Structure formats: C-alpha cells, structure tokens
Amino acid sequence: MSLKGDNMPGKKSVLLAYILWLFGGIFGVHHFYLRRDKHAFVWWSTLGGFGIGWLGEVFRIPRYVRDANEDPTYMQELVKRMIQNKKPPFSMNRFTGMLMVGYSWGQMMMLAVPPDEFWGINFRYLNNLIPLVAALGVWTVGNIGRERGNFKWPLIAAYAVYPLRYYIYDESVWFTLMVLASALAFDSFSKEWRRTPTKRRHVLKRLAILAVCAGLYLGLWCSYLYFHGTITDSEGDEVPVYEALHHFFTSPWWLDVKQCLIDTYQYAQHHGWYEVWKQIIDLSDPHGEQNAYKVLGLGRDASQQEITSRWRKLSRENHPDKAKPENRREAQEKFMEIQKAYEILSSSKHRRSRRNKKDNSDE
C-alpha cells in the first residue's frame, strides 16, 4: 500500500472540499474533486443521499481529504485497522446507504418499464432487470472508498428473492426483502478491504464515464415520466404525457413552427446563416424602432419630415395639461412614450444618414 506524503502531486484542499460541499454537495461535486467518483454518482442520483447523507458529511470531509491525499498518519491507521480486522467491520451508515440506493435504483427501473404495449412490443420482460439494478445500487455503495466487493453475491441474492413478488402482493414488502438480501449478501460474502489504490484516470475520462452513467439514469427517469406521468389541463382533467406529446406534435401550432424552421433552413441554404442571423437581429428590434413606428402610427418608409410632423401633432393632442385631473397620469405616460419614440426614430435616421455619407466618401 502506498504511503505517499505531503509532496504527492494533486494534493487536495480541505477548504476547497468544504466549499464544493456547500455549493454543489448534493450533486457530489466535492466527491468528484476528491476522486471518489462512485460516491459522486450516488450523491448525484439521490440528491446527496436524499439530503441526509449530505448533511452528515460535514464532519467526515477532513477524513475524505486525508484519504485522497494518502496522508501518512491516516494510512498507518488504515493499515493497523486492516491488520486487526480481516475484512471491514460492519457499518450501519454504509449498510443503510446500500439499502436506500439499491431500493431507489430498483424502483426507478421498475417504474421505467412501459405498463402497456408500445409500438406493438410488450416490454414487461424488462422487469427481470429490476434485481440487477437494485444489486448494482448495493454494489456501488459497497465499493466506495477503501472498501470493495464482488458483484456476484448481491446479484445472486437479489434474483433469489425476486420471485417473492408473485406471492407477496405488497410491493414495498417484497422489494425491501430483495434489497435487504442483496445488501446482507454483499456484507457477508463480498466485502473486503481495498488494499491497492484506485487506478488514476484522466479527468476527461472520468467525466465521460459519469456522463454515460448519468445518461442511463436519466433515461430511466424519462421513460417513467413518459409512460406514467400525467399533465393536468385547464379543466382539471389528467392527460397521460405520451398522449399529450402525440397531440402536441400534431397540433396546428407545432406544424406552423415546424414549417417556419424548415423555411428558415431552406433560406439559410440559399443565402447563408449570416443573413438568417441578421434577420433575427432585425426582428428582435434591438433599437426599439418597430415599436416607435407603432406608437407614432407610421410605416417604416416614413421620412424624417413625416416623423416630425406626426410627433408634433400627437404631442399637442396628448399633452398632460389638456387632460382631466383623473386622467393626467395616463396622459403623462402616453406623452413620454411619444417623446421616446420620436427620439429613437430621429436617432436611427441620423445614424443611417451619417453611415451613408461615410460609405459614399469611402467610394
């Protein structure tokens, strides 16, 4: 076992670990920083161990940092514990974590399976993966830190208890028994010390692995929401998400948006994406010209003389001094809106005139 000291490369900071724990702890950011990737993913998938685990780490972070830095004193104590105990002693904290994560992941797998046929295929056979995912949750928690274990025993135990679902109709009972058997099998037959340091991987590779795992987990969530989620309409009726999505993609509004996107793509193919971008900027009205023309009641081809004439007329008609006392505030706002519109259009006209003169002089 390595006994590297303070000069080891990439030494971790307790202060930074606490900062990451405070601002991103429920997503496991501090564990990723400390190279505890399994712990980080568990925290991400359960939002900090359902919040309880995140709070409980406030006193354990210094130990995590010493472990990551392979502090000589910490390593000597760890070696002493390994000598005294043939395998890691029972930990209620870790065992509870195995139960909670195994139950959570297994439930998500069960809820992700479509209840009815989809595309003419019955996907209920995927329920046979429930013990696999539950055992994977147990194994992941059991392999955090300086402890590890084989996946075989928790998997066998989960599949051995899984048939109880056909005899015990209370889902929570047979599910709990399945996860409990898997966790006991891991703790009794698989658990051992991690006597060699975890292989160091490049941060990009670690991120890629976590991204794949996150994608699979989010896929279960999406499947659950798609097949089991409902949307409440304005009348209070619940509509399944998959039906609502089907109707959305056949709605007139979406068909118009789709046609607009197609037209934009075709226009870009002929004129280039830069022209599309220019049109988007013009339509967003960054200078407020379109609204100014609307306030003055003029078209975009109006001359400066027409703008000035219209401004004077509207200013006289909407002057606050002519309004009744109870309407004076509204008249004041309208009057200020007219003045603002005139300033915007006059500035735009002046800016374009100056640009045209400059272009002509350059030529």
Encoded tokens for 194: 């991690």
What pLDDT, on the 0 to 100 scale, is given for residue 76? 92
What pLDDT, on the 0 to 100 scale, is given for residue 197? 75
CATH number at residue 361: 1.10.287.110
Tell me the pLDDT of the chain (363 aa) as tens digits.
444 433 445 689 999 999 999 999 999 999 999 999 999 999 999 999 888 888 989 999 999 999 999 899 999 999 999 999 999 999 999 999 999 999 999 999 998 988 777 777 788 888 899 999 999 999 999 999 999 999 999 999 999 999 999 888 888 999 999 999 999 999 999 999 988 877 888 999 999 999 999 999 999 999 888 888 888 777 777 777 777 777 777 888 888 888 888 888 888 888 888 888 887 777 777 777 788 888 888 887 888 888 888 888 888 888 888 777 777 888 888 889 888 888 888 887 777 666 666 555 555
What pLDDT, on the 0 to 100 scale, is given for residue 272? 85
What pLDDT, on the 0 to 100 scale, is given for residue 356? 61
Instruction: Name the 3-class secondary structure at 149.
Output: coil
What pLDDT, on the 0 to 100 scale, is given for residue 360? 57
CA-CA distance, 111 to 107, in Å (whole number)? 6
Q: Which of 167, 200, 233 is the last residue of a domain?
A: 200
- Does residue 285 fall inside a structural domain? no
What pLDDT, on the 0 to 100 scale, is given for residue 279? 78
Q: Is the whole-model pTM more than 0.95?
A: no
CA-CA distance, 149 to 134, in Å (whole number)? 15
Do 4 and 68 belong together in one domain? yes
CA-CA distance, 310 to 316, in Å (whole number)? 10
In angstroms, the Cα distances linking 99 to 31, 105, 153, 262 are 21, 10, 15, 51
Do 18 and 59 belong together in one domain? yes
What pLDDT, on the 0 to 100 scale, is given for residue 334? 86
Encoded tokens for 197: 């340091």
Do 118 and 186 belong together in one domain? yes
CA-CA distance, 223 to 109, in Å (whole number)? 9
What pLDDT, on the 0 to 100 scale, is given for residue 358? 57
Q: Which of 57, 84, 111 is the last residue of a domain?
A: 84
Do 153 and 185 belong together in one domain? yes
- Does residue 190 fall inside a structural domain? yes
* DSSP notation for 45-90: HHHHHHTHHHHHGGGTHHHHHHHHTT-HHHHHHHHHHHHH-SSPPP
Q: Which of 59, 84, 109 is the last residue of a domain?
A: 84
Q: What residues contact 272, with CB distance under 8 A and at least 6 apart?
A: none
Helix boundaries (H) for the chain: 14-24, 29-33, 37-50, 52-56, 61-68, 72-84, 92-112, 130-142, 152-161, 171-185, 203-228, 241-248, 252-271, 273-283, 289-296, 304-317, 328-362
Residue in the structure block whose two tokens are 């003389």: 305
- Does residue 246 fall inside a structural domain? no
In angstroms, the Cα distances linking 286 to 279, 280, 281, 282 are 12, 10, 7, 7
- Does residue 158 fall inside a structural domain? yes
- Domain, as residue range, for 323: 291-363
What pLDDT, on the 0 to 100 scale, is given for residue 10? 67
CA-CA distance, 31 to 45, in Å (whole number)? 13
Please report how many Cα atoms fall inside a 13 Å half-sphere around the Cα of residue 137, on the Cβ side: 32
Count structural domains, the chain.
Answer: 3
